Structure 1
Amino acid sequence: MKVNNTGAKSVATAQVQAKELEKNLKSGTKNVDDFDKLSTHDSTKIKMSPEAQAFQKAKAIASSDSIDEAKVARLQKLIDEGKYKVDSAAVANRLIDDHLEIGE
């Protein structure tokens, strides 16, 4: 029975490279090329799931500063005065539409 031992070599090499990089970072040497040395595979790619992509997009939107202050003030005034009416059918329809759109 022949056992391929190349995996152990690449792990050991990666560990040595990581230690060298850590030493360089602690000493103040910051070389971008050092990060490239840590990769044992040149073509490593990551593909995010559709859910992760949607979450990332929602997170970006939530962190953006695109709040319409005038609209918020207007709605707050209507709520405070008890004049803001919720159309429950419209809310339900929108929730269903959003759910169906995400499922596609």
Structure 2
Amino acid sequence: MYIFITLTYAISSLHLLLAFTSIIIGIISQSRSTVWIAHSVSPIWAGIFFASCGGIGIICARQKGLYVILCYVALSIVTLIVDFVNIQLLRLGLVNITTDGEAYL
């Protein structure tokens, strides 16, 4: 039982670390872009989802209630989908700004 609590803390801490990293990347990406484009701010939204998932994961490890566990699982699935869209937006954004083999970042 304690190994599951430890793993939940570890995964939640990883979510919070990834949230912080994603938000920082989004802020840097937005500050360097000349116009507002979806691929430049998508890491900020993904970071918000990561942070909420990590926070609910830490609450889940402390309270161990059925509702909190189901909420954590559901939010983890939503976060996975949002981050898949985030990766695709970043990929398309990098492809669209590349001309003649040179990327203008």
Asked if Structure 1 and Structure 2 have the same fold, meaning a TM-score greater than 0.5 normalized by the shorter chain, the answer is no
- Normalising to structure 2: TM-score of the pair? 0.32
Greater C-alpha radius of gyration: 1
Higher relative contact order (CA 8 A, sep 6+): 2
- Normalising to structure 1: TM-score of the pair? 0.32
Structure with the larger helix share:
2
